[in-house]
Every structure is written in structure tokens, then in C-alpha cells.
């Protein structure tokens, strides 16, 4: 006799007795997942569109150098033509654009304002780049101090060009280097040679303007360049009132001592790439060899540097065509012999 619980178990359908679905064939789960993910991927690909952050075409916008001038509450802009924006414009050098812009500035009567020539002179002194108009051709060179020279050729004077004299010899340019002997022999004849040399140097220095550059190299066994009061450089220095006053103090403190070595001092001076060198000594000996003279003069010629030479002596000059004179002759400079016994003190 079967119990009630056993009858319920017998009536419960087993797996094999379960009714089968008649809605069609079943899909594997992996295939369903595949189609779902593909649909999502295609939807995202359709929604995502790349956008360029660049410009949509070439804009006609000129690029150049603009000089801004503020005057009495107004502002004027001077733009150099050329660049990518205007294909028909002719590009101008930076110096020409700057000169043209400054020339277009309205004149003012404001006290203490800097003139266009002075401003151009400041730029002319930086890097020894001439802002003037020049004709002819040639290649420039640069000195070891980083201050290059203008190229060869003839043309108009550079802004900042001035004239200065040492013992009657006139030098013309925008930068000047004074290479002066300060050896023990300069103390001879009661110290007249050194005293007169310092006087002439100070007078020449005073004639320079703030757009000119200079350097002073006193030497005996070794060169002793002047160090700028502000920049402390041994290169070319702008002849501002501050620097000229400081240099004047430096010159007054120089005393004569030691031997004489001309070559290191001349090499130091020519390396600066100045327009003019004033070289003064009272000692023809020790003389420079022909190869040393050629080395100095060739370097000056390539950098368009003129050497003016002054030789101190006692009595009549009996020598001729010596190395001191050759330094001047080969570089287009002048030579002068000075009898210290006849110097007007």
C-alpha cells in the first residue's frame, strides 16, 4: 500500500517528461552576447565623429614686426609688411623695418627723449650690426667676444659713427679700442710719457657718445683690460656717462711697471672686432716678427679694423718701415712718432 507522499512523488514530472517548447530553435548564449556587443560597438562608431582643432583654410593675416609708440595718451602701431599673410609684399630686414618705423614716429618736444639716431645707434652697437644702408657686397665676420663686424663694401656711414683723436691722429668709427703701453720705461723723462698718454686717452674717451663703444687695454708683461662698471665685461662697452666716468678713474689709477710684451695685448685688442685701434708704445723692442705682424694685420683687414700707431721716443726718429709703422700702413691707419722731450705739457 502506497503512502500519500509516495503518490505525490510519482505524479511529479521528471525532466524527460517536461513539455518541450514549440516556439522554434534555441540560440546559444555566446551568440546572443556576440550580437549584442557588436550592435553596441557599431552604435558608438556611428555616434563618434572626429573633429579637427585646426583652422579651416588659410587665413590672410600678415605676420611681421610691430613697433608700438606711446605718446601723450595715444598709441601708434607701425607694422612691418610682408610675412605669410601678404604674398605680394616684400620682406624687409629687421633693421630696415625698425629704421622705417622709427622714421615714421611723430616728432616731439619732450625733454630728455631719445632721438631716432640715438636709438638706431644703440641697436647698431649690439652685435656690431649696422642699421645703415650700404652698397657693395661682402661677407661679415664675428670677433671672439661675440661681437661681429659689418661686411665689406662701401656705403653710407653707420649710425653712431664719430671721430676722435689721439696725438693728432683721427680715427673714425663707432667702436674704439685703446691699447696703451704701461711698462716701466713709460715712467722715464720724469713720467712725461705715461702722463701724456693718459691725458690723450681721457680726452679721446670724453669725445665719444653713448652710442659708441670702447675698451681700454693697458699692458706691460700682460694685458690689463678695463672691466665695465656695470656689466664687468672685458669686451666692448657703451660709452655712457657712467662708464666714461668709471673708465676715467681706471685710467688715472694706472702706473708704469714691468716689462713689455706687445703681442698678447695686440691680440686681445684685435679680437674685440672694433672699428679702430689706437696703439701706443715707447718700446720698439722687443719687436714683432714678420709672421706676427702679418697675423695681426690680416686679422684686422678681415674685420675691417684700422690700427693707428703712436710711438714715443727721445730725439729724432731715425727708424723707418719698422713693425710699428707696418701695423698702421697695412690696415689703412696712420703712424706718428712723438718726441717726448718736445711734448707740450
With cell 705715461, the residue in question is 194
**Beta-carbon neighbour count of residue 297 at 10 Å?**
20
pLDDT at 38: 85
- pLDDT, mean over the chain: 74
pLDDT at 84: 43
pLDDT at 277: 98
With cell 661681437, the residue in question is 147
In 3D, which of 183, 200, 340 has the Cα closest to residue 265?
A: 183
C-alpha to C-alpha distance for 180 and 197, rounded to whole angstroms: 8
106-110, 230-234, 257-261, 277-281: least confidently modelled range: 106-110
Task: Read off the DSSP letter of residue 184.
Answer: G
What does the pLDDT average to over 12-20? 52
Beta-strand pair 148-149/66-71: unpaired
- Report pLDDT digits (tens) over 275-309: 999 999 998 889 999 999 999 999 999 999 999 99
Three-state SS for 78? strand
Residue limits of CATH 3.40.50.410 in the chain? 162-342
Q: Check whether 329 has a pLDDT greater than 50.
A: yes
Task: Read off the DSSP letter of residue 144.
Answer: T
Four-point Cα dihedral 112, 118, 123, 125, nearest 10: -110
- Is the distance from CB of 311 to CB of 212 less than 8 angstroms? no
pLDDT at 70: 53
The CATH code for residues 162-342 is 3.40.50.410
- Report pLDDT digits (tens) over 205-238: 999 999 999 999 999 999 999 998 877 788 999 9
pLDDT at 334: 97
214 Cβ partners below 8 Å, 6+ apart? 175, 176, 177, 178, 205, 208, 236, 237, 239, 247
% of the chain surpassing 90 pLDDT: 45
31 prior amide bond cis, ω within 30: no
Q: Check whether 50 has a pLDDT greater than 50.
A: yes
With cell 686681445, the residue in question is 268
24 prior amide bond cis, ω within 30: no
pLDDT at 10: 54
pLDDT at 41: 81
Cell numbers given for 233? 665685461
* pLDDT band for position 76 (cuts 50, 70, 90): low
Cell numbers given for 138? 661682402
141: number of CA atoms within 13 Å, CB side?
17
C-alpha to C-alpha distance for 322 and 332, rounded to whole angstroms: 16
pTM: 0.57
Cell numbers given for 5? 507522499
pLDDT at 120: 41
- Report pLDDT digits (tens) over 153-195: 333 456 689 999 999 999 999 999 999 999 999 999 889 999 9
Amino acid at each position: 500500500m502506497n503512502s500519500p507522499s509516495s503518490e505525490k512523488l510519482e505524479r511529479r514530472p521528471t525532466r524527460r517528461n517536461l513539455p518541450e517548447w514549440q516556439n522554434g530553435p534555441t540560440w546559444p548564449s555566446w551568440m546572443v552576447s556576440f550580437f549584442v556587443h557588436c550592435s553596441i560597438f557599431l552604435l558608438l562608431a556611428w555616434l563618434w565623429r572626429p573633429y579637427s582643432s585646426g583652422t579651416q583654410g588659410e587665413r590672410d593675416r600678415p605676420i611681421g614686426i610691430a613697433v608700438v609708440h606711446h605718446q601723450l595718451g595715444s598709441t601708434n602701431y607701425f607694422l612691418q609688411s610682408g610675412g605669410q599673410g601678404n604674398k605680394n609684399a616684400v620682406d624687409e630686414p629687421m633693421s630696415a623695418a625698425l629704421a622705417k618705423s622709427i622714421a615714421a614716429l611723430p616728432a616731439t618736444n619732450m625733454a630728455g627723449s631719445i632721438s631716432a639716431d640715438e636709438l638706431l645707434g644703440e641697436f647698431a652697437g649690439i652685435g656690431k650690426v649696422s642699421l645703415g644702408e650700404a652698397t657693395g657686397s661682402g661677407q661679415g665676420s664675428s670677433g671672439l667676444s661675440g661681437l661681429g663686424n659689418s661686411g665689406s663694401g662701401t656705403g653710407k656711414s653707420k649710425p653712431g659713427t664719430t671721430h676722435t683723436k689721439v696725438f693728432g691722429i683721427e680715427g673714425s668709427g663707432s667702436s674704439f679700442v685703446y691699447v696703451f703701453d704701461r711698462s716701466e720705461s713709460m715712467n722715464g723723462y720724469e713720467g712725461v710719457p705715461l702722463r701724456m698718454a693718459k691725458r690723450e686717452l681721457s680726452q679721446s674717451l670724453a669725445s665719444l657718445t653713448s652710442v659708441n663703444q670702447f675698451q681700454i687695454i693697458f699692458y706691460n708683461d700682460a694685458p690689463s683690460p678695463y672691466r665695465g662698471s656695470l656689466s664687468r665685461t672685458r669686451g666692448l662697452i657703451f660709452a655712457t656717462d657712467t662708464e666714461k666716468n668709471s673708465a676715467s678713474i681706471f685710467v688715472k689709477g694706472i702706473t708704469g711697471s714691468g716689462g713689455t710684451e706687445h703681442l698678447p695685448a695686440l691680440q686681445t685688442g684685435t679680437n674685440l672686432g672694433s672699428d679702430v685701434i689706437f696703439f701706443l708704445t715707447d718700446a720698439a723692442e722687443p719687436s714683432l716678427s714678420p709672421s706676427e705682424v702679418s697675423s695681426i694685420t690680416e686679422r684686422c683687414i678681415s674685420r675691417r679694423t684700422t690700427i693707428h700707431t703712436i710711438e714715443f721716443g727721445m730725439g729724432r726718429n731715425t727708424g723707418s718701415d719698422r713693425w710699428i709703422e707696418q701695423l698702421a700702413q697695412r690696415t689703412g691707419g696712420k703712424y706718428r712718432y712723438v718726441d717726448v722731450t718736445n711734448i707740450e705739457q
